[in-house]
Amino acid sequence: MIHEIVDSPQYGPETDALRKLLADQPDHPGLDPYQALLLDREELPDPAVAGERDPRVAVEDLAVELPGRTLQARLYRPSPRPRPVLLWLHGGGFVGGDLRDIEFATSGIAAAGNVTVISLNYRLAPENPCPAGLHDVSDTLAWIRANVDGDGRIAVGGQSAGGALAAGACQLARDAGAPLPDRQILCYPVLDLHPAADWHEWYFGARDIPAGAVPLQAATLAGLPPTLMLAAGRDWLRDDALAYAGRLEQDGVPTRLVEYADTMHAFLNFPAALSAGRHAVELIAADLRAAFG
C-alpha cells in the first residue's frame, strides 16, 4: 500500500488559526451536557469557515422512507442523466452533526466528481443509540438502489463517525450477502472503541456492541469494497485510519491511503478556513472519476 502524504506550508498556520478561533467561541455555561448538545445541533454553520454550496449542482431535499422511520436527506445532482450515486454521512461523534454542516464538500464532490451525492441525516444518540445509525445507513443503501435514478453504481463515504457508519454498513452487506457498494471513502474515521471520548457512553453505553459497529474489531476485512482512506496528521484518530487501511491491504482489498500532514480532524467541515479541506474535495472527486469513469 502506498501511503501518500499531502502537505503545504499553509496547513499548519491555518490549523493553528482555526483552532484558536474555535477555542475562543463561547460555550453554554449553566447548561447540562444534553441541553448544550441540543443547542449545538441547531447552530447553522458559519460560511466564513464552512464555505458555501457549489452552484453547479441541482439540489433536492428527500424524505427517505424506511421501516418505522423517515430520514431527511439532500440530493446534489451535477447532471440530469443517470450517474453513479454516492451516499455521504456527516461526522459529529454519533451524537451531533447535520447535512447542512458539509454542503461545500457534498456539493463540490458531486460537481467535480460527476456523481449524484445523497447526504443523509441518520439518527443520533443518545435518543437513538448504537446500532440505530448503522441500520439507517445500511437500509438507505438498499433504498437508493430501489428509488434513486442512478446508473446502478453506488459508493458510500463519510467523515469521522460517518466514516465508521460507512465502513460498518459495508461489513454488514458483505456478511449478509447483500449487494456491496462499489467503493468506500473513509475520511478520518473513528473505527475502534474509544471509551474516553465524550460520545462513547451516549452511543455505546453498556449494551452489547453489534457486528459492524466497531469496524476495526471485525475478524477479517476481506471482501470489502475498494477503499479511499483519508487521514489527518494532527488527529487523535489518525491511528484508526492507518490501522484499518493496513488491514484492508493485508486482506486483499485495494486501498489508497492519503494523509494530510499538519491538519486537524474534521478538516472537510472547514474548507473556507483550511485549504486542506478544499484540496480533499478535489481529491475525492478525482478518485471517483477514476473509479467510475
Catalytic residue positions, numbered: 160, 235, 265
- Distance, first Cα to last Cα, the chain: 23
Neighbours of 167 (CB within 10 A): 32
> With left for phi above 0 and alpha for psi between -120 and 50, is residue 181 left, alpha or beta?
beta
Neighbours of 157 (CB within 10 A): 29
Whether the bond into 254 is cis, omega within 30 of 0? no
Rounded distance between C-alpha atoms, residue 37 and residue 277, angstroms: 25
- 110 Cβ contact partners less than 8 Å away, ≥ 6 residues apart: 54, 57, 76, 77, 78, 86, 116, 117
Q: State the cell numbers at 238.
A: 489518525
Whether the bond into 131 is cis, omega within 30 of 0? yes
Of 82, 2, 7, 70, give the one whose Cα is nearest residue 232: 7
The runs of H, that is alpha helices, within 69-224 are 103-113, 132-147, 161-176, 200-203
